[in-house]
Chain A
Amino acid sequence: MGETILSVKDLHISFRTLDGKVSAVRGVTFDLKRGETLALVGESGSGKSVSMKAINRVLPGNTLYDQGEIIYEGQNLLKLSESAMEKIRGRKIAMIFQDPMTSLNPTMSVGKQIAESILIHEDMSREEALEQAVELMRLVGIRNPQESWKNYPHQFSGGMRQRVMIALSLACKPDILIADEPTTALDVTIQSQILDLIDDLKKQLNMSVIFITHDLGVVAHVADKVAVMYAGRIVEIGTAEEIFYNPQHPYTWGLICSMPSLDTKDAALYSIPGSPPNLLHVPQGDAFAPRNAYALEIDYEQQPPFFRVGNSATHYAATWLLAPEAPKVVPPAEILKRQDVFKHTYLLQI
């Protein structure tokens, strides 16, 4: 694992809407190292996708970057001009989106779409770019690329289109690949193929990858570091092992317990009670408190700071339960059971 290449500091983002200002991201801080895979996990609306799109500044026009910095190669991306940003997008920081069915231009052949990403950043002829596009298609496992580059997106299956998206995003060998729920729209069998492909390519190209997902199972075997987000904030961050074996935040417990597993015999799958807060009106104290069975009085008054977990240099959780004065709480029994499950399934590879 190399040096830090991306550093997000206290990022605050909101949207102007007809109803008022929606605070989608409320203070996100993390570092990404070269070659590292970070997984950002959380429910829909937790701000994971917004904070990642902010890195490439591909958010809609009503976005307000209220506060914070995104430092890449010594410069704050939020302060860069649009034209300077165009040189970073796709070339240094690339993205894959959730829905491969609609993320490709339906009236342009896939080969041209891949070649286009090369052409705008590199000085070469159309023919050379197309040759490279064919090469990239072969790299991501598309059959018969010499012929199929001429095909249009509707002639490919969902999994193949996502491979095209990956080829397109890797066209300039970026430093960072942001994959925004890249497997959500795909069949389960295709999901693991795509995840493995991204993981392989990451190693080949020495990229850093940020996975955005709401499915812990998806990231368990590819992530080095996991950040759990809730209501626009990171509530727990640590290595994959720390998050899966030693979760500290009640929200992380809830997430882990609500993962379906072949070994859980109980009929009903656990779900966290209640629903996420409306970020049009940011609640006082910890946003998770109303849904938290372990909430303390202070949770309703003051937002918990990050507490370091044990002596770990990497594991932090924002819960008052970790305060020295807090009562000792035992995680739900299900968590302990799950740890055993993880040991035998996902984490064997780590």
Chain B
Amino acid sequence: MGTYILKRLAISIPVLFFISVGAFVLVHLTPGDPADMYITPDMTQAQIELTRASLGLDRPLFIQYFDWISNFLTGNLGFSFGNRQPVLDIIGQRLSPTLLLMSLSLLVAYLTAIPLGIIAALRKDTLTDRFIIGWTFLNVSFPPFFLGLALIYIFAVKLDILPTGGMSVLGAENGAEDLIMHLILPVIVMASQFSANMIRYVRASVIDVMHQNYIRTALAKGLNRRQILWHHVLRNSLIPIVTVIGTDLPKIIGGAVITEQIFQWPGIGSLTVAAINSRDYPILMAIVILSAVAVLIANFVIDILYALIDPRIKYGK
């Protein structure tokens, strides 16, 4: 197992390298120029060139990349083109709101989705099942911006019981109650997206396991439905569920672009949108690398979980 972990780590280094090259090229290929932000109509061409040079954009692309990666390897992610602050500080500020929002959303989503999925599977083809499946269908069909705006309209505009967005009311910073009020709507929007997906996977997986021959064996042993569910069904239906968790996990760091934008949540998602709009290359690169690392870590965690759940899965030495 130890060597397996080392191997995985070793493989992730070239993976990250190629991702960084690809991302760097793509980011620089996008139409638009970061220097545009500094340009005023009365600037001469020479002044514009000077601005570009001050951002380092006049050099050949591979030199720029080399510059970026050598800084990156020393732990320096550069400075934002926008406010000239260190990228690391900006990311650091934006990371905790996203971590808070996304992990809470995932928690709420899984805590509701797993029991609902199991109930739907056990009551397959009954009214309860139809209702749960219909509910997930509704959730998957509503785009998050629509659900978000609808919730804002109802609870913030009409009923005026919840804030429209942001993380806190001015002057009420650090108040836990205030934070919770601001979390409710975005968490509902995110959780409904995550849970709808999860319910369907849990239901399908549990139904699949219930049809396995070893469940019939368990029944013939004299176990009741509850014992069969706990001792034989759940663990075996975990594998596809863990796969879904694996695709959800990186979003804890990557954030939700649309939902954060609608609720003006000061997280990584809205930072991404702002960085794209202003062609803030250093920020964009940092977000891409951060997301790539998150995906690699999530995949790694998932692979370890597979081996823990299913004894048939063993990783070579």
Contact = CB atoms under 8 A, between A and B. Distances in A.
- Decide whether A and B are members of one complex: yes
Contacts of B231: 108, 116
B214 interface: yes
A140 interface: no
Contact of A107 (B219, B224, B227, B235): B235
Contacts of A251: none
B141 to A, nearest CB: 28
B222 A107 contact: no
Interface in A91-130: 91, 94-95, 97, 99, 102-109, 116-117, 120-121
A168 interface: yes
Instruction: Give the interface size bracket for B toward A.
Output: 20 to 34
A86 B220 contact: no
A97 B217 contact: yes
Nearest to A154: B312
Contact of A86 (B212, B216, B224, B312): B224
B223 interface: yes
B236 A105 contact: yes
A53 to B, nearest CB: 9
A219 interface: no
A90 interface: yes
A95 B218 CA distance: 10
Given A99-B213, A102-B213, A107-B235, A152 B311 contact: yes
Given A108-B231, A152-B312, A103 B217 contact: yes
B309 interface: yes
Given A104-B214, A105-B214, A90 B220 contact: yes
B310 interface: yes
With most chain A CB atoms within 10 A of its CB, the pick from B220, B223, B224 is B220
A interface secondary structure, majority: mixed
Contacts of A89: 219-222
Interface in A108-163: 108-109, 116-117, 120-121, 152, 154
A95 B232 contact: no
Contacts of B236: 105-107
23 contacts: A56-B220, A58-B216, A58-B219, A58-B220, A89-B220, A89-B222, A90-B223, A94-B220, A95-B220, A97-B216, A102-B212, A104-B217, A105-B236, A106-B310, A107-B236, A107-B309, A107-B311, A108-B235, A120-B222, A152-B312, A154-B312, A165-B217, A168-B217
Given A56-B220, A95-B220, A97-B216, 7 more contacts: A89-B222, A103-B214, A106-B214, A106-B236, A106-B310, A117-B222, A168-B217
Interface of A: 56, 58, 82-83, 86-91, 94-95, 97, 99, 102-109, 116-117, 120-121, 152, 154, 165, 168-169
